[in-house]
Amino acid sequence: MKTPRAIRSARRPAEASGPFVCSWSSVGDCAIVRVAGTVDVRTAPTFAHELQHVITTKLPRLVVDLRRVTAMEATGLDVLADAHDLAVDHGGWLRASGAGQWLADLIRATGTNRPLDHYPTLSDALPSYRPAIARPASPMG
């Protein structure tokens, strides 16, 4: 089994108004986009641009890590849903992770019916990434 390589963004994280940061890295053939701060009408264009950049120029399979998001408006759901559609168009997928109950509550409150897979943890969203278990060499005989 080939060990996944971790790759980091060569660009500095994109920053918008206030304490919003969005950056990416990869594990194997999957990108991880980390978001921190508030996703609102001011920061949504930067968020959308970063997701589009990763999907179209790096990897179309991505997990958006929302653990450090302090607040998200409905426009953030639109960004995620549009990015999901773009990822699917490029042969990939998008999953959100680490949002906790607030993401489910926001989805329910907005009444959106656009697809968005969300998982409690980053490792749950990356089921195919498991470190290889070292096994003792079998005796030759």
The enclosing domain of 25 has a CATH number of 3.30.750.24
Domain membership of residue 35 (yes or no) is yes
- The pLDDT assigned to 138 comes to 43
Contacts 24+ apart (CB under 8 A), 81-86: 81/112, 81/114, 81/115, 81/116, 82/48, 83/48, 83/51, 83/52, 83/55, 84/114, 84/115, 84/116, 85/114, 86/51, 86/52, 86/55, 86/56, 86/60
Residue 9 confidence (pLDDT) above 50: no
Q: Quote the pLDDT of residue 131.
A: 47
Residue 111: what are its φ and ψ, rounded to 5°?
A: 70, 20
Asked if residue 51 is part of any domain, the answer here is yes
Q: Does 42 map to a domain? A: yes
Overall domain count for the chain: 1
pTM for the whole structure? 0.78
* pLDDT recorded at residue 127: 62
Do the domain assignments include residue 29?
Answer: yes
Question: Is 71 inside a domain boundary?
Answer: yes
Q: Does any domain span residue 64?
A: yes
Domain of residue 112, residue span: 19-125
Let me know if residue 13 belongs to a domain.
Answer: no
pLDDT band, residue 111 (cuts 50/70/90)? confident
